[in-house]
Every structure is written in structure tokens, then in C-alpha cells.
Structure 1
Amino acid sequence: MILLSTLFSVDFDNSVLRIGNQSVNLETVNKVLFKITTIVIIVFLMYLAIKIGNSLIDKFVKNQVESDLRFTMNEKKANTVGEVLKSVLKYTVYFFGITAVLSYLFNGISLTFASIGGVAVGFGAQSLVKDLINGFFILFEDQYAVGDYITVGNLNGIVESIGIRTTILRDFSGDIHLIPNGTISTVTNRSRGNMRIMVDMEIAYEENVDNAIDVINAVCDRFSKDNNDIIDKPQVIGVTSFTQSGITIRVTGSAKPMTQWAIERELRKEIKKELDSQGIEIPYPKTQIIQTVENK
């Protein structure tokens, strides 16, 4: 207590706060504390506005998905609009909040400094404006939606979020890619319409091709009856190639978007099991050792 009293002391008569050998006017201290408190309140209000706004947007999206009204949006469209609204809300709150803080802190800022800052912000905002404009085109043209599997440049993945400035893409290794909307020029959407199923199976040259095709088609018939994600029933289209070890038979069909890979894996397994049960050989590398006996 004695140490603190020697470090800090207040002279109320002269309105001075002494810290060691330094003296600070109490009025200045009050102004600083008032400004800090005001800034904290503004930041808290920004956080509160975003939190409440996001909650209302989530409720709106949920109502759209669950509603049976004629003019409601489907789940993908509702989620996409929800993400965009959250992005607009976030940037709007940030803009007004930061503007309020800067205006409060630099109320006496000179016109020259403000002009220089305005020019600098103008140059920096060019890419931001480009991102915003392209983001609105992506939304209104419905180029892709949240949950779609797309290709942008050399990046592939599922769209996790669409904002007015960036698109967030998660690839199948789990990596997150943040792509500025202004840089997106060509997009391949792999989630619109039915997706192709393609399975190639090889049989040995010694096997009867027609018999193998009948067996595979029978597997496809049974498999299609038990899978609601299949649109066009898989069937054999014929022999597509001759390899060093066997004959390649191709199966094709179509399925709902994003289900084709699971269907191909499962169908490949079922065909393999049936070929094994029918004794139809699937070729694999073999090593044959021939031993000769020399006559003496």
C-alpha cells in the first residue's frame, strides 16, 4: 500500500494525477476513459447487431425450407440467400461501426489528411467493388449455390458459403479455399442435373464375354431396385478396351447429384462379389515359372 501511494497520487485541488514523477491532468484522464468506454460500447453494439441479425436470418432460412407456400425457395437457394444476407449484414455493421469509431477519435482531423486517406481508400476499394459486383451477379444468375460441387480454376470442392465479397470452397481433403468473387471468371457446376455413373470391370480373356455381360446386367437390375438415388438404371454398354491382362466391360447410368461416387463404389463391389460367385475370373498380374530339365 505504501508503494502504491508513492507511485500514484491524486491532487484534487489542482485536478492532477501524479504517476511517479509525471503529472497528468484529471480532465485528460476522464476524456481518455470516456473515449475508451464509448469505443467499447460501439464494438459491443456491433457484435450484438451481427448476432441478432444472424439469428433472424437463420430463422428466415428455416421458415423458407420448411414452408409449403408456392413462392418459397428450395433449401439450397434459401441457404445461399441466407449466407449472402449474413455477409451484407456483417460488412454493413463493420462499415458503420468503424466509421463511427474513426469519426469519434479523429473529430478534429485536417481536411488534407482526410483527402489523402479518401484517395488511398478509393484505390484500395477498387478490388472490393469488383468483388461485390461479381458476387451479386453470381447470386442473381444462380451460377452456383451453397452445397454445390463446383470447379473454379484449378480448385474443386463443395461451396460452404457465398458472400458478397468471397466464396468459401472446401475440397475433399478438408482444405478451405477463400476465393474473391472478383477473380471468378469461369465456373463449372457439377451439381446441376443428373450425374453419370461409370464402372469399368475387367474379365480374363479365357472367360465368355456374353455370359459375363448377362451376370453384370443382372447385378445392375437388383442394385437399381434397392437404391433411390439412381435415375437411369446402370447397364452394360459393351466392351470398351482390351488390356494386357483382360477385357474391359463398361457399365453406365445416371444418379442424383453428389451420390454418383458412393453408387459407383457400391456397384463395383456388388459386381465383384457376383463375378466371384459365378466363377468368372477377374484378371490380375501372374508370374509363371517354367522349369526345364536338360538332358545329359
Structure 2
Amino acid sequence: MNYKYEIVNYDKNVPAKILYCDLSSDTHKTELHWHREPEIVYVLEGLGECSHNGEMKDLPAGECMIFNSEDVHLVRPKMGYRANMIIIQLSFEYMRMFCKTIDSVIFDLHERPEHKDQICEILRQIANIDIDHDEYGVLKQISGVNLLYYTLLKYCTSLKRSANSFIIPKRDFSYAKTAIAYINENFKQEIPLNEISSVVNLSPSYFSKYFKSVTQVSFSEYLANLRLENALQDMLTKNSTVTAAAVENGFANVKSFITQCKKVYGYTPAQYKKHLLNR
């Protein structure tokens, strides 16, 4: 499970980054991440799920979810399902031209269900624009994105933070971000509990409880999932053997790699690779 900060780059023509994803839970994403820019997700078909600051939620077709700046999140198909989604990452710099205090704005769709329906319809319309076969489709895309910005800024801002005020988040992710950044750099080596807890200056027992409370998974499971994801990727992209993938990605032995793979996917690593290649 990789938990990282991301930098978002934008298309020069469209004032947002638009991603179209048609995913299967066969490639069960475990990567938690955060970035400065707000992100909004809409499920077109299938069933997705998201982790939002440590809380899991199902995202059925027709449902959208917004993640504010620095929110730790993950969006993926629910296990056993596919999910066709559109993801739009908003631009602070663009919004600042119209809202000078954008850095202190929090978007909230839950308290405004009627406007959330509007947002979902705008996202559906953007997703249906065929820019590959319509030479002017990008103009419709720009129009839709601007309507999205307008609706969010006009109706969906729930809190503005001044320079003198602050919000206490539901969960404090500061220690987790530091810890997982360290894990991400060092997962190929042994990382004892004493070592990772010292990175964030917490006792091992407190760190264990804290880590699970904010990520919904234990430190050991989190580390095993990160190693699993990278080991399987090596088998698929580098044609690594099971043994090489295990050793090069921090597993103590091949058996622990096989056990973790069967636990997550119900297959051995070799079976999992064959399953994906035969789809």
C-alpha cells in the first residue's frame, strides 16, 4: 500500500485534469495518496469504493465524491466489481482568478443534496463528450468544466478558513504521512515496528493503535500490501520470477509472498499473473 503526495499537471487547454477510468477489481488498487488540488469523482457504471481520510464508503453508479486539498484518499472498484469512472482534479490557480480566497475554501456536497445532483449531472455530461470524434468537443468540455467550477464555488463552499483560524480534522494524518513516506522509500528492506515508530517519535504500542485508527489497517498489513503490489507489478512488467519478485520487494521469503497474495486475491502469484494475462 503506497501512500504518497502527488503533483497534478494540467492540460493547457482545459482548466482541470480529466481522467477516464474503466477498472476491474482484479487489479485491486491499494495506493492512498493526497495532493494540493481538490478532486471530484463520479461513477458512471459499476460499483466503486473510496477511502476518505480513513473512512471507507461505497460509490454506486450515479454517485459522486469530492476530496478537498490534502485529503488522504483512494478510489477503486469494489472487490468483485468493475467501475467506470470520471475523475476531475480542479485547479487552484484557475479558481483563484475568480475567488481570491480559494486557498481557504472547503467544498461540501453532503449538506446540499440538490446541488450535488447538479454536480453529478454536469460530470455525466462531461463524461459523454466525445472529443476523439468531435473536432470542437474540447469546447464543450471546457464549458462543462467551467459550469462545474461555477456550481461548486457558488453553492458548495461550506467553510472558509482565515489566516488566524484552523480546523481540527476528524483524524490527524500528519504522523501517518510521515510514516508512510518513510515506508514507501524503504519497503524493500526490513522495517521493524521500533524503527518506524521512532521516525514519528511515538512509542511502538501507541503508533500501532494510531496507525490502524487512521488507515483502517495495521502497520504490518499495510507494509505487506505495498510489497505485494510492487512484487506483482514486477512479475507483470519485468517478467520476474516469483522468487525474485519476493526477495526484491522486501518479503522475508517466497512463502510470505504467496500467503499475502492468496489472502488479498485468492490466487498464488503465478496464478494471479496467469489470470490477468488470460482476461
Q: TM-score range by the shorter chain?
A: under 0.3
Looking at secondary structure, tell me which structure has more helix per residue: 1
**RCO higher in structure (CA 8 A, sep ≥6):** 2
TM-score by length of 1: 0.20
- Which has more radius of gyration? 1
| Normalised TM-score (structure 2) | 0.21
